[in-house]
Structure 1
Amino acid sequence: MKKIAIITCTGLLFSGMAATALAFTDVDNTNENSVAINYLADSGIVKGYDDGTFRPQQLVNRAEALKIILEGKKVATQDAASSSDFSDVKPEDWFAKYVMAAKERGIVSGNPDGTFAPGRNVSRAEFVKMILNTNSFQPQKWEGAQLFPDVQKDAWFAPYMNYAGQAGLVEKDNDGNLKPGEELTRGQVAEIMYIMNVILNGSNTQFLITQAEKQMAQIDIYVGNNNPLAAKRSSELGVDMTQQAYKNMPQDAVVLGAAKLARAYDFLMNAYISGVQKKTEDAKSWADQAIAKATEAWEANNEVQSIARHIKDRANEIIAQLQG
């Protein structure tokens, strides 16, 4: 059986010293999409600007979205039709080859008026449809159901957003909404691309463990930057990734330890958020569960003891503050 590597034995993972290497001058480790952006940059899927920036808050138009998706998937565009099916896409436009390659593959169909609207900012629903169609998504099984408050079952984007919401490709807000019409920034586009890659690599246990570690490494960074929601998102991703890794290799002690560690960190975040919300009993309960799960992680794999101890220390601090 292939050995799964884990870097937690260094004791540096959550000190910030082992945080994700930075690819762009304007994306530091406090950015909510930093793991996604740096992963995609390292993989050659996205590029920044000549000045070394990524501009994560900049909105993305439909032409740019297609380029990012097709180049990320390594879809050939050089043989795309030289003539355009859309009245607003000329053969000499820089984006024409991407639009026509996507049209030929059924990734996009354009608007009823015969336009593609390349310069219009891409919405979440449009981007999700593009990326899923690029990956041969079959929408039929996701039709006819309303799974989210703002995704009506008869909406054109319903099957795509239903899948995206269920699979974790996009995040729900506190009311369970997916916000299909919201225009996306470069950072948000990177996040969806990243999660899509995680889903596609669901059978690659080493990949899942590595990405889960990167997510867990962000938790303390986000908390220190007073962004508990981003920290909670990272803890949930860590759980999702390690649970899939555990399904792949349930007998591996390293994988089991990582799965329990991720769960302990998620419990710790629940304790932290409950404490902030003045839910004292809930915070105490979550902190106790974090301590218990961190102990289980340590017992499963002794190499995670330094981080398990870190989680237990933070949980005990929360309990002390609640009693104080």
Structure 2
Amino acid sequence: NTSVIIDNGDFDEYKDKITSGLCTEKWSNNTMWFSDVNSSHESFIAAMFVGYYGIFDGYSDGSFKPDKTINRAETAKVVLAGFGYDVIEPSPNSNAGFWDVDPNAWYMPYVYTSNLYGIMSGNDNGSMSPGDTVNRAELLRIFLESAKANVTECTTSPYPNVAVKSWYCKYAKFAKGQELLTESPDGNFYPDAAMTRADVAHLFYSYNKAWCASIFELIQGNN
């Protein structure tokens, strides 16, 4: 059911997104974006997608490092880039109210902006934990809230090991319904699993496919 991705909005805006190439895969005709993800790599298409649209920059040596885990600071940067948020610079030497951040670090504008938008809040003890690895449940919440996806509450469990009352049930349900994640062989969800850069690239690519399917659904309805 693709209609849960987009349920309202300006039709002309959606058409503009299509002509920008998001739904035509014009990016897929390009050569390798990253030196360590060639055409035989399982993450090749997803890596090309996030590279073409500037969601991931890669490293100075030209690599993507698909198996490297992604932390909170990096997550803030890619979701802001992926969903077109304006990045806001904090005041000079400001820690934005978080005692464990470096005011001069590269990530400060992204952490500050993500907190302003309510995408990524700090911890109860006043920390932001920018270097902490993001797990699957956390990443889905951050990603889908950033995307403003039409996520609804759980009434049934989408996975055998996910309780209906768990805070992440609705995000897991949405991801399963839209086929955003690679399913585990045993059919479980594993909310605490660390997310890699390849995992996040696949999430962006899969979400875009579902999003475009919703747009085409709207086009057919407007013809």
Alignment of 1:208-247 (within 5 A): none
Unaligned runs of 5+ in 1: 1-17, 206-243, 251-324
Task: Kindly report which structure 2 residues correspond to 1:278-297, keeping only aligned pairs within 5 A, or say none.
Answer: none
What are the superposed Cα offsets for residues 222-258 of structure 1, whole Å, 9 maximum, x if unpaired? xxxxxxxxxxxxxxxxxxxxxx7xx9669xxxxxxxx
**Pair 1:41-2:57 in alignment:** no
Question: Given that residues 136 and 191 in structure 2 are in contact (C-alpha distance below 8 angstroms), is that contact kept between their aligned partners in structure 1?
Answer: yes
Query: Is residue 2:136 matched to residue 1:128?
Result: no
Distance in 2, matches of 1:111 and 1:158, equals: 21
Given that residues 142 and 163 in structure 1 are in contact (C-alpha distance below 8 angstroms), is that contact kept between their aligned partners in structure 2? no
CA distance in 2: counterparts of 1:71 and 1:201, whole angstroms: 18
Corresponding residue pairs, total: 193
1:278-317 superposed matches below 5 A: none
Counterpart for residue 93 of structure 1: 105
Question: Aligned to 1:157, which of 168, 173, 178?
Answer: 168
- SS of the residue aligned with 1:181? coil
Contact 2:95-2:101 at 8 Å conserved across structures: no
Match of residue 277 from structure 1: none
Kindly indicate whether structure 1 or structure 2 has the higher relative contact order, using CA contacts under 8 Å at least 6 residues apart: 2
Q: 1:149 to 1:37 in 2, by over 3 A?
A: same
State how far apart, in whole Å, the 2-side matches of 1:25 and 1:109 are: 34
Gaps of 5+ in 2: 1-27
Moved over 4 A (4+): 79-83, 247-250
- When Rg is computed on C-alpha atoms for both structures, the one with the higher figure is 1
CA RMSD of aligned residues (A): 2.6
**1:38, CA displacement in angstroms?**
0.6
CA distance in 2 between counterparts of 1:36 and 1:25 reads 14
Shift of 1:200: 2.4
CA contact (8 A) 1:19 1:29 kept: no
Q: Following the alignment from structure 1 to structure 2, what is the Cα–Cα distance between the partners of residues 138 and 92?
A: 36
Confirm whether residue 182 of structure 1 aligns to residue 182 of structure 2: no
- Matches of 1:131 and 1:25, distance apart in 2: 26
Q: Partner letter of residue 47 of structure 2?
A: I
- Report the identity percentage: 30
Q: Is the CA contact (8 Å cut-off) linking 2:69 and 2:195 kept in structure 1?
A: yes
Give me the whole-angstrom Cα distance separating, in 2, the residues matched to 1:93 and 1:194: 29
Match of 1:67 in 2: 77
The aligned amino acid for 1:179 is Y
